[in-house]
Chains A and B, each alone.
Chain A
Amino acid sequence: MVPSAAGLGQSVGVTEGFQLRGVRVEGVARPRLDGIDLDLPLDGITVVAGASGSGKSTLLRLLNRLDVADAGTITWRGTPLEETDVLLHRREVGMVFQRPTVAPGSVIDNLRLAAMDLDEESATDLCLLVDLEPSFLDRDASELSGGEKQRVCLARTIATGPAVILADEPTSSLDPAATEVIENLALRLAHPESPMPVGWVWVSHDPGQLRRLADRVVVLGEGRVLAEGNALDLVSHGDADVRRAVGAER
């Protein structure tokens, strides 16, 4: 049985996700994140946009605890991150990276990295969930196409039963067809009536993708939050960088 942790928080009536207050991460020339105040809810798809070097990936790495902030606080469902069990936290807050990275071995070997006792039936369900034929389970993961690998990575992350998936430009190295498959999958899983609803924090520099996916948008610039809200509202924002991020201006 594929675990479904997405309901963990909702079942006890907790709906808040991440809260960041005054979060700062030092960088070489300037801070990578500079005083971030942000609430990221559990449901739907939050797209984090902004130019290269604006701190999008750094933000995601903080949320998965792959990095730590130099100042400020981050809470997850009301608990400061440093007080959570890091290994459990990472299973609850999954992460998919920009470059699809599969481990040596078959597809099912990769899925079992996330869930050691995963049986064939659950592995088949996971494959179908990410639009892969079950015959892929025995295939060498390293020989798959980029899009197929990324779907394996997604299935592997879903196997941990996350409440939220942090996706760091997961389609930037994929062709349009593979991108469409991944986007549709995200929309399906984010839907409240999905059998296992998962929230997304999705980093993207593609305004088209932002408009297709975003329930809400956060725009970063030079390590700061430039704007947050509905994509349609941000089209007429006063800051040209924000308008550019949502595709209202070239």
Chain B
Amino acid sequence: MNEPLADIGLVGLAISGILIGVALVLSLVRRLGLEKDLFIAAVRALVQLLVVGLALRIVVDDDDPLVFTWIWVAFMAVVAAWTVRRRAPEVPNVIPLSLVAFTAAAIVSLGVLFGLGVFEPTGRAIVPIAGMMVGNSMTATVVVARRIVAEANDHRDLIEARLALGLSSQDAFAPHLRAALRTGLIPQIETTKTVGLIALPGAMTGLILAGVEPVEAVRVQVAVMYLVLGSVSTTAAVMAIGLTRGLFTSDHRLLPLGSLSSPQ
């Protein structure tokens, strides 16, 4: 490993804060009225990450038991599930479905990466990788969940017309499920296609700044991209299938959407 380039110290951190000034000046000059929000965002990011950093010292210490790591991962999944609910309030049972989806994605993707020895199963590796998995999956989960509900609402006539022809609920909703999954997955696929052409991805940038050889950083980054694709696909599929099941009764009736919303 080369000399790390990223140890910027407190002075460096303070100097980088000057860049917030650029955004503040823009807001003042163009009268955007965003100064307060910018200031709060900058301070909040600093405080949140400092707290996270301190907590991570416990979690990623190689001498500590992995149980702290898994508690951390579970906490991330719960926060992500709440975030999905906030972004998709119209989706019924969204918290339990999100938790099941994140758990399934964790089992599949972390199982492959750590179970098959791609990374060492240490807190230092599990936490950031699980973070990337949950963070990226969250967006796709929100998109798929919202789209499924919109499809059921907007195409109720067509879905019931198919049901009335004797199609099962699964078959009657299949085109809409496909549309929702495509909407959720295509952005991630496009991102994977163009990676490196427009901007260097986060994990690779971090590793290079930390002094890792670029080719080595690329290997890690590619594994991370595959992890993200796999986990996004898993969460989207679990959310889509779970949500679709909740739209219909066992005797293939499409429920009125208002009756699906459960208090959360």
Answer yes or no: do A and B interact. yes
Residues on A lying within 8 angstroms of B by beta carbon are 64-68, 82, 86-88, 90-91, 94-95, 97, 99, 101, 103-104, 113-114, 153, 156-157, 160
* Cβ contact within 8 Å between A90 and B165: yes
Closest 6 A/B residue pairs (Cβ): A91-B166, A95-B164, A90-B166, A101-B157, A101-B161, A114-B165
Contact of A94 among B162, B164, B175 (CB under 8 A): B164
- Shortest C-beta distance, A167 to chain B (Å), equals 11
* Cβ contact within 8 Å between B253 and A67: yes
- Shortest C-beta distance, B162 to chain A (Å), equals 6
Beta-carbon nearest neighbor of B164 in chain A: A95
- Shortest C-beta distance, B18 to chain A (Å), equals 55
Contact of A91 among B162, B165, B175 (CB under 8 A): B165
Q: Which of B190-233 contact A (CB under 8 A)?
A: none
Beta-carbon nearest neighbor of B158 in chain A: A101
* Cβ contact within 8 Å between A97 and B251: no
Given the known interface contacts A86-B251, A86-B252, A87-B252, the answer about A99 and B157 at a Cβ–Cβ threshold of 8 Å is yes
Indicate whether B122 reaches chain A with its CB closer than 8 angstroms: no
CA distance A160 to B162 in the complex (A): 12
Beta-carbon nearest neighbor of A153 in chain B: B161
A-B pairs under 8 A by CB, number: 52
B residues in contact with A160, CB < 8 Å: 165-166
Contact of A68 among B160, B161, B168, B253 (CB under 8 A): B253
CA distance A104 to B176 in the complex (A): 11
CA distance A117 to B49 in the complex (A): 61
A residues in contact with B166, CB < 8 Å: 87-88, 90-91, 114, 160
Beta-carbon nearest neighbor of B165 in chain A: A114
CA distance A86 to B172 in the complex (A): 14
Indicate whether B167 reaches chain A with its CB closer than 8 angstroms: yes
Query: Could you mark each residue 223-264 of chain B with 1 if its beta carbon is under 8 Å from any beta carbon of chain A, else 0?
Result: 000000000000000000000000000011110000000000
14 chain-A/chain-B pairs, Cβ below 8 angstroms: A64-B164, A65-B251, A66-B164, A86-B252, A87-B166, A87-B167, A87-B252, A88-B166, A90-B164, A101-B157, A103-B158, A103-B175, A114-B165, A157-B164
CA distance A113 to B161 in the complex (A): 10
* Cβ contact within 8 Å between B251 and A113: no
